[in-house]
């Protein structure tokens, strides 16, 4: 974890530069590429269970879920993309007369929806008014909780949170991560966030609380996928950091939750 934090110290300023860059498309394209790599990592993990995944089909249609959001098109186009994928997968099964591949078709569809639909809320978050700050808060609240939960759990952790799914998580880590997240968010509101964004004291508690809870759920969800596939990390592409899924799993759950809360309760 210490090595991961040292690496993050060098990476975060670069990420921050792209987040606050006036043109939103460089950071959004970087995000989409990261999500597509995470998608491919899950496909490879599931193949370890002898599941025949339709990798090229999945990646192709995942791109067409992201594109409407990237170019600010109506959300109906996402429904078109998912519907087309469903039809395409089942036409493959019909014309190949391959009943045994039905499991792979459903896994392919489920993973594409998991990554691309949840991931598309990162794009929606950026295109909100003052979206650069909201996009900045997404990794901030996710990773502050992660670090806070880790160190609190390391020092005080005694009671396992969900040992059947993620043995390293503790109740003390969860509580400590939430408290640290709230404290950091209060500091950020008064030092970084412009006065034009009206975060109330209630928001300053609820938003980091939601990000902590759902981010943890996203992390455990990825752990379930990895345990099902019999692997520790989604890949070793990022060395000490594991794979791309290991970096975006919590944000996949936080993005829609933060978008909905900010859109309907803040702006």
Q: Which of 31, 47, 57, 44 is nearest to 103 (CA)?
A: 47
Res 219: pLDDT: 95
Q: How far is the C-alpha of 188 from the C-alpha of 85, rounded, in Å?
A: 42
Mean pLDDT of 56-61: 97
Kindly tell me if the per-residue pLDDT of 240 is higher than 70.
no
Long-range contact set of residues 68-77: C-beta below 8 Å, sequence gap at least 24: 69/120, 69/123, 69/124, 69/127, 70/25, 70/28, 70/29, 70/32, 70/123, 72/127
Res 1: pLDDT: 59
Kindly tell me if the per-residue pLDDT of 100 is higher than 80.
yes
Q: How confident is the model at residue 2 (pLDDT cuts 50, 70, 90)?
A: low
Mean pLDDT of 56-83: 94
Average pLDDT over the chain, rounded to an integer: 93
35 with 115: CB under 8 angstroms?
yes
Strands (E), 5-98: none
- Spans of all domains in the chain: 2-265
- Chain segment 9-36, per-residue pLDDT in tens: 777 788 889 999 999 999 999 999 999 9
- Chain segment 109-151, per-residue pLDDT in tens: 999 999 999 999 999 999 999 999 999 999 999 999 999 999 9
- Chain segment 193-205, per-residue pLDDT in tens: 999 999 999 999 9
Q: How far is the C-alpha of 64 from the C-alpha of 120, rounded, in Å?
A: 11
Q: How far is the C-alpha of 136 from the C-alpha of 167, rounded, in Å?
A: 30
Mean pLDDT of 92-107: 90
Kindly tell me if the per-residue pLDDT of 258 is higher than 80.
yes
* Residue 11 or 68, more confident: 68
148 with 181: CB under 8 angstroms?
yes
Q: Which of 62, 55, 58, 56 is nearest to 33 (CA)?
A: 62
What percent of the chain stands above pLDDT 70?
A: 96
Res 5: pLDDT: 65
Q: How far is the C-alpha of 182 from the C-alpha of 204, rounded, in Å?
A: 7
Kindly tell me if the per-residue pLDDT of 238 is higher than 80.
no
49 with 14: CB under 8 angstroms?
no
């Amino acid at each position: 974890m210490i090595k991961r934090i040292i690496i993050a110290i060098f990476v975060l300023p670069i990420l921050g530069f792209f987040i606050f860059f006036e043109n939103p498309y460089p950071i959004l394209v970087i995000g989409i590429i990261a999500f597509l790599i995470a998608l491919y990592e899950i496909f490879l993990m599931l193949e370890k269970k002898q599941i025949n995944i339709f990798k090229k089909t999945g990646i192709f249609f995942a791109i067409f879920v992201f594109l409407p959001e990237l170019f600010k098109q109506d959300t109906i186009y996402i429904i078109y993309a998912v519907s087309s994928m469903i039809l395409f997968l089942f036409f493959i099964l019909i014309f190949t007369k391959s009943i045994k591949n039905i499991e792979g078709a459903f896994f392919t569809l489920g993973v594409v929806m998991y990554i691309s639909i949840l991931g598309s809320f990162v794009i929606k978050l950026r295109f909100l008014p003052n979206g650069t700050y909201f996009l900045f808060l997404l990794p901030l609240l996710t990773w502050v909780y992660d670090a806070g939960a880790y160190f609190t759990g390391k020092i005080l952790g005694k009671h396992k949170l969900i040992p059947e799914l993620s043995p390293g998580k503790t109740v003390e880590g969860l509580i400590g991560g939430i408290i640290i997240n709230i404290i950091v968010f209060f500091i950020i509101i008064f030092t970084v966030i412009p006065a034009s964004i009206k975060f109330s004291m209630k928001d300053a508690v609820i938003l980091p609380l939601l990000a902590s809870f759902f981010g943890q759920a996203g992390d455990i969800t990825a752990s379930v996928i990895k345990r099902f596939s019999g692997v520790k990390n989604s890949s070793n592409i990022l060395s000490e950091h594991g794979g791309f899924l290991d970096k975006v799993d919590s944000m996949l759950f936080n993005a829609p939750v933060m978008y909905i809360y900010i859109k309907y309760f803040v702006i």
